[in-house]
Amino acid sequence: MPVQILDTENKPMGEVALSGLESEKLNKAVLYYAVKAHLNNQRHGTASAKQRGEVNITGKKVYRQKGTGRARHGASSVNIFVGGGATHGPKPRSYNEKINKKFKKTGYQEVFKYLVQTGGLKVLTEIKLEKPSTKRAGQILQNLGIKKALVILPADNINGHLSFRNLKNVTVVNENNINVYDMLRLENVILTADFFKKIIERYSL
């Protein structure tokens, strides 16, 4: 089943044939690891807890060694005392997960397969606004029958970016900043026919 190309009034203007995405079984494992890698790569990994040697506390012996009836202790910096250092606490680290080109390509194939099968892919002839207008952007979404979406626009489409970014549950990204996570999170993806043809060639859809 080919993907329909619509105008901003939701009227069919043509169609794009795909290589069987609508009938192939979805590989959920690929989507899981693609999303997991994306989220981990967003982490800064800057969490840090002070260890025993890093806390600013006196090194004086807590109390005398013998005769108190209590356990012997040598310093207040140990983890069992308030103000002491943490045991096995977090330290700065990298959460980066490297994704090779083949897996990245497969991830995008699977996410577009999911969007085609669920009807969440909206391909428009063009998304052109004469001036920034949130009202007009909201009307386009209403015409398409969706309330939340990822809108993919060229970087030079300034009016489009300014119009869609104010809408609730709508995320606007440049064509070179798409990712699997946002496409799955927002369930609906709106893009132009010209960019979709590039996607078809890039990811062999």
The confidence score (pLDDT) of residue 30 equals 95
The confidence score (pLDDT) of residue 1 equals 65
189, 120 contact by CB (below 8 A): yes
- For residue 35, the SS3 value is helix
Q: Which CATH number fits domain 3-43+97-203: 1.10.10.1100, 3.90.1150.10, 1.10.390.10, 3.40.1370.10?
A: 3.40.1370.10
CB crowding 126-149: b at 16 or more within 10 Å, else e: ebebeebbeebbbebbeebebeeb
pLDDT per position as a tens digit, 39-92: 999 999 999 999 999 999 998 999 999 999 999 999 999 999 999 999 999 999
The confidence score (pLDDT) of residue 195 equals 93
User: Rounded to whole angstroms, how far apart are CA atoms 152 and 169?
Assistant: 14
Which of the residues in the chain have pLDDT under 70?
A: 1, 22
- Give the chain's end-to-end CA distance (angstroms, integer): 13
User: Rounded to whole angstroms, how far apart are CA atoms 114 and 26?
Assistant: 7
The confidence score (pLDDT) of residue 18 equals 82
| CATH 3.40.1370.10 residue ranges for the chain | 3-43+97-203
